[in-house]
Amino acid sequence: MDKAIWAIYYDLPREGRKEYLDWFHRVHIPEKLARPGYVWAAHYEVVHPGKAFEKVLARLGREEDPALASGAGFIALFGGESTRTFHDPSPAQLKERQSAETREMVSRRINALGLIFCEEWRIEGPSAASREAEDVLSPAIQMGRYDAQGNDADLQAWYAQERMPGVERTEGCVGARKLLASSGAPRHSVLYEYVSLEAREENYVALEETEWTHRVHGYLLHPPGSPLVGSRIWPPQKA
């Protein structure tokens, strides 16, 4: 059972991108999955969030601290049995042991930011049965990270009482996970899974137009690179 996620957000230059992605999918992911406690991996290319979602993005508060910013081109996700999986050894310790090839490939990332999250709880959506396998994330995701500026109790109540019950009823939704940062900032994150980008665009935005949601958006601070919408590039999507 996975209860933790190591997320790496980054950009890549156009030159050498194909070579990097081939190495990441064919070599690096299998190496990570061979380590104790690693349960699954997924890799997403960030895409346009959709026209309907643009007005939501326009009203979100923004964190100005450049240290919290991330690349917004790709999201690599690794599922672990617990956060201990990713702290023993830690990312810094793994970096010290990297091969020359890994160091060279990882150096190609731009604005890379890694965060380790503990899963608080999760829900399943109406399309949960569409999951390809228990350890495979869905073809489309949305992932945000943010600070609640001292309004954590209200934020958590909103998730428990309004947002996640709404997600459970949203057509095309496979599920969602409420996350807390074990290392790094900001504190809160959520991962939504959808059967497709089209299903997310058509059905998700309606959840944003409630009085409580507008109040929550009034105090949340998103860093640059949040929220992001991604299309899965590994494992390859079925035709």
pLDDT tens per residue, the chain (239 residues)?
899 999 999 999 999 999 999 999 999 999 999 999 999 999 999 999 998 899 889 889 998 888 888 999 999 999 999 999 999 999 999 999 999 999 999 999 999 999 999 999 999 999 999 999 989 999 999 999 999 999 999 999 999 999 999 999 999 999 999 999 998 889 999 999 999 999 999 998 888 889 999 999 999 999 988 999 999 999 998 76
* Gyration radius from the chain CA atoms: 17
- Spacing of C-alpha 31 from chain mean position: 21
The pLDDT of residue 206:
84
The pLDDT of residue 239:
67
The pLDDT of residue 125:
97
* Cα–Cα distance, 152 to 164 (Å, whole number): 16
pTM of the entire structure? 0.96
Structure token digits, residue 155: 């934020």
Q: Which domains does the chain have, with CATH numbers?
A: 4-234 (3.30.70.100)
* Cα–Cα distance, 108 to 111 (Å, whole number): 10
**What's the Cα-to-Cα distance from 59 to each of 73, 98, 153, 214, rounded to whole Å?**
22, 42, 22, 9
What's the one-letter identity of residue 198?
E
Spatial neighbors of 86 by CB under 8 A, at least 6 apart, are: 4, 6, 78, 80, 116, 182
Please report the DSSP string for 14-27 in residue order.
Answer: STTHHHHHHHIIII
Structure token digits, residue 49: 């969030």
* Cα–Cα distance, 85 to 44 (Å, whole number): 22
Q: 157: part of which helix (H) or strand (E)? A: helix 152-158
Strands 221-222 and 61-62: parallel
Nearest CA among 61, 42, 4, 22 for reference residue 141: 42
